[in-house]
A and B are shown apart, each in its own frame.
Chain A
Amino acid sequence: MSAFMKPHSAAGWATLLLAVIIILLGLPLVYMGAELAFLGGSLYYVVCGLVVTVAGVLMAMGRPAGGLLYLGACAFTWLWAFWEVGLDGWGLLPRVFGPTLLAIGVALCLPVLRRAEQARTTHVREVA
């Protein structure tokens, strides 16, 4: 699909890989989170899963908005985690550790996404 970014560098490939990972992690959150919500459990997972999946797709399309959306979701996750378990270390571990590791990766990829967007807008202008 032409909408997806076409990496030309290692950093580009890493960004695309990260985007795919985020999509693959987001989808089960949507799927299982929907069942959890249906069973009367927390709404966080289905909502966050949707946001993260969209973020991953946007990143794969080379849009910085995707990275920013992911970082926003991660920040929201921290707030939600504090709300749910307070400052309890063992409680925070599953909620924020993995997402924050990914967020660091996403932050590192933001310049790549910006370049990709610049390249695309230039390209679009040229076509126009």
Chain B
Amino acid sequence: MMSNHTPILRTLLLGATIIAGTAGVSALAQVPPADQPPGNGNATVSPGTPTPPQDAFSPPSPNAPQAPGVNAANIPDGPPAEPSEATPMVEQVTANPAHDDWPGYGRDDRATRYSPLDQITPSNVGHLKRAFIYHTGSKPAPGQVNKWAAETTPIKVGDGLYMCSAMNDMMRIDPATGKEVWHFHANEKYDSIPYTAACKAVVYYTSSTVPEGEHCHHRILEATLDERLIEVDSEDGKVCEGFGWHGMVNLMKGMGESVPGFVAETAPPPIVNGAIITNQEVLDGQRRWAPSGVIRGYDAETGRFLWAWDVNRPHEHGEPKEGEHYSRGTPNSWAAMIGDNALGLVYVPTGNSAADYYSAMRSPEENKVSSAVVAIDVKTGEPRWVFQTVHKDVWDYDIGSQPTLMDFTKPDGSSVPALIMPTKRGQTFVLDRRTGEPVLPVEERPAPSPGMVPGDTRAPTQPWSVGMPRLGFAPLKEADMWGMSPIDQLYCRLKYRRAHYVGEFTPPSIDKPWLEYPGYNGGSDWGSVAYDEKTGILIANWNNTPMYDQLVSRKKADKLGLMPVDDPNYKPGGGGAEGAGAMAETPYGIVVSPFWDEYTGMMCNRPPYGMITAIDMHTQKVLWQHPLGSARANGPFGLPTHLPLTIGTPNNGGPVITAGGLIFVAATTDNMIHAFDIHTGREVWNDVLPGGGQATPMTYEYKGKQYVAIMAGGHHFMMTPVTDDLVVYALDNVN
């Protein structure tokens, strides 16, 4: 901790010291006892007498009760429940997907994003035409700040195409015509949108207790932005009364003080051996004692609470008692998780503790599990193993990707149940699912240390997956700076020289900016990877977009108007998750921007900004790799160049592989969907979408015809056009 706390922080921490028995934190060498956090979830004492605010941010006590209306849907808490096991599960459709179906977010239980469909091939893909466009109905209303990026991948089971809108309406669509069969209205409020209105997918669940033919035997499940689990019947879209409170579970229970939009769910919750596992996005950069990153299990049949994994209450798996809350500021996980029914585990890609860019106030428990893969036993909520991808992360290298499962064949012929974990660093780790041990070599390499922030030392080493090709380039040089002319190139060279930069893991600095490269958009972000088990080919699309960051003193942060989302004076845009953040309750705020020329709006580093890579997992060699995305919709001053040059653009959204030998990927900021021949990497087809294709496509067959669907929902941060259009393609010469 620093000697220059702001007065309000000191007051808060003084209050915190009243709380006796705050577990574990005194072991943090650089933190004197007076700086203990305000209760690891078991705090019941009010933190001292409030003093008049002397800071822009007068924090609500982390121990304050949750105000009514924070649970935006206003549903009651579930009944008190002791830790327990889930109702046994029947086999789900994702275990062995039907040939024609795409029944889960990553298609199957392994999240391979591989489909056995082969009607569309490199030779006939040119005949793809739009079959229909379906409108979800969710996009910004006039006057609303655009926070939309639907990021949705529909699922297809039998006769139904199921999806959610950006604002969590659920719908069933006819797979051939796009006609809506039913529409469930989630009635979500605009205030509940966190950083982004997104809903990556719904989950198809077959009940073990409701007999076939009865209501809610087959169910559609989603987790919402306003922290609900909702189950509806797949046939009529009506809520499952046997689940929670009229089909809903209030996930704000036990979260303590919060405001709408601070905590949200955007990823499909996996169901593992009957347990729905939830994680939640906690808005980055707000305050050190933000709501908890707790991981919880709920019974898929009844919605009953099963267990919690709460980092700073490591061995307590029950719900917090009345007036208590889950431990605050702990690493949140917002990526899509993946389950493992055979091993009884859920693999949780974690993010970072709250206040991403300052680590001195984190507990040793947090430091062990942040920016890691944590395997949790779905019976008990106890972690079985942890593999960390960044030690003491202060770069927002939280994991955005969903892990993909595979069987890895070792040189001696033995097979290992493995997990592929792509990261924002572009390091792809391959781990043994049973133990978390690396299957391919991982080296701990020296990293810049101790850093430049007093009392906040950096880890001396960081892990590098040296057995896998890196989804990234060499460190930036001054000569890599770019522009349209020598003058803007010179400006970027100056920006480069004005910043601290000693390669990857350049520590945060206060006196001047530092260059963060790879940036927090990846490497691999939430798009994740696709894997063809038959050929062993892994497809990954990734980013090459550095960031320009600087820690600022509390005084400066106040002057910049940075304040957390639960400040009464907070205005949308006044410090968002991906820009500058108040990091209240720490000594510093954070200013983050792309490493760009802010006058022309062009990135400072030379292209490409986005790539696609094919890797042979048998040999771990790159088969091909090239820039992804054209310059047609981007250019200086935000003007489209209309040039068909493949420059390689930033991209968000994953790839899919088909047995027809194709890769479909949209993701790029040229607003196109692309098809590549998987063997050559050649682009064999593309089409301009009505909006940005920042989502992972999917493919299905219905009545003998193969379709490819992409949500062209756009992305506010990627500055691509936002629409509510699901665009579905099929060959025009097949009937």
Chain A residues packing against B (C-beta within 8 Å): 25, 28-29, 32-33, 35-36, 39-42, 45, 48, 77, 84-85, 90-91, 93-95, 97-99
Residue contact A42 to B478, C-beta cutoff 8 Å: yes
Inter-chain CA distance A39–B481, complex, in Å, is 15
Find the residue from B478, B488, B490, B498 having the highest chain A CB count within 10 A: B490
Residue contact B482 to A45, C-beta cutoff 8 Å: no
Residues of B within 8 A of A45 (CB): 486, 490, 493
Inter-chain CA distance A91–B605, complex, in Å, is 10
B602 to chain A: closest residue by CB = A94
Q: Given A90-B606, A91-B606, A39–B484 Cβ distance below 8 Å?
A: no
Residues of A within 8 A of B490 (CB): 28-29, 32-33, 36, 45
Find the residue from B485, B486, B493, B607 having the highest chain A CB count within 10 A: B486
Residue-wise interface mask of B (474-498) relative to A, using a CB-CB cutoff of 8 A (1 in contact, 0 not): 0000110011111111110110111
Shortest distance from the beta carbon of A23 to any chain B beta carbon, whole Å:
13
Chain B residues packing against A (C-beta within 8 Å): 478-479, 482-491, 493-494, 496-498, 606-607, 647
Residues of B within 8 A of A25 (CB): 487
Residue contact B478 to A41, C-beta cutoff 8 Å: yes
Residue contact A28 to B606, C-beta cutoff 8 Å: no
Shortest distance from the beta carbon of B640 to any chain A beta carbon, whole Å:
18
Shortest distance from the beta carbon of B498 to any chain A beta carbon, whole Å:
7
Residue contact B486 to A39, C-beta cutoff 8 Å: no
Partner of A94, one of B478, B489, B494, B647: B489
A37 to chain B: closest residue by CB = B497
Inter-chain CA distance A42–B606, complex, in Å, is 17
B648 to chain A: closest residue by CB = A90
Q: Given A98-B485, A98-B486, A35–B479 Cβ distance below 8 Å?
A: no
Partner of B498, one of A28, A39, A94: A39
**9 CB-based A-B contacts, threshold 8 Å:** A36-B490, A39-B498, A41-B478, A42-B478, A45-B493, A90-B482, A94-B485, A94-B488, A98-B484
Inter-chain CA distance A115–B421, complex, in Å, is 70
Residue contact A40 to B497, C-beta cutoff 8 Å: yes
Q: Dominant SS at the B interface?
A: helix
Partner of B487, one of A29, A41, A77: A29
Residues of B within 8 A of A84 (CB): 479
Shortest distance from the beta carbon of B578 to any chain A beta carbon, whole Å:
27
Residues of A within 8 A of B486 (CB): 29, 45, 48, 77, 94-95, 98-99
Contacts A28-B487, A32-B494, A42-B479 known; 14 new A-B pairs at CB < 8 A: A28-B490, A33-B490, A35-B494, A36-B490, A36-B493, A36-B497, A39-B498, A41-B478, A41-B494, A48-B486, A85-B479, A90-B607, A94-B482, A95-B489
Q: Given A84-B479, A91-B606, A42–B493 Cβ distance below 8 Å?
A: yes
Residues of A within 8 A of B483 (CB): 94
Shortest distance from the beta carbon of A69 to any chain B beta carbon, whole Å:
17
Residues of A within 8 A of B647 (CB): 90
Residues of A within 8 A of B491 (CB): 32
Shortest distance from the beta carbon of B602 to any chain A beta carbon, whole Å:
10
Residue contact B494 to A39, C-beta cutoff 8 Å: yes
Residues of B within 8 A of A93 (CB): 482, 484
Inter-chain CA distance A95–B479, complex, in Å, is 10
Among all A-B residue pairs, the 3 with the closest Cβ atoms: A39-B497, A98-B485, A94-B489
Shortest distance from the beta carbon of A72 to any chain B beta carbon, whole Å:
16
Inter-chain CA distance A84–B607, complex, in Å, is 16
Residues of B within 8 A of A90 (CB): 482, 606-607, 647
Partner of B494, one of A36, A77, A91, A98: A36
Shortest distance from the beta carbon of B291 to any chain A beta carbon, whole Å:
43
Shortest distance from the beta carbon of A25 to any chain B beta carbon, whole Å:
7
Inter-chain CA distance A98–B488, complex, in Å, is 11
Find the residue from A85, A91, A94, A99 having the highest chain B CB count within 10 A: A94
Residues of B within 8 A of A77 (CB): 486
Residues of A within 8 A of B487 (CB): 25, 28-29, 32
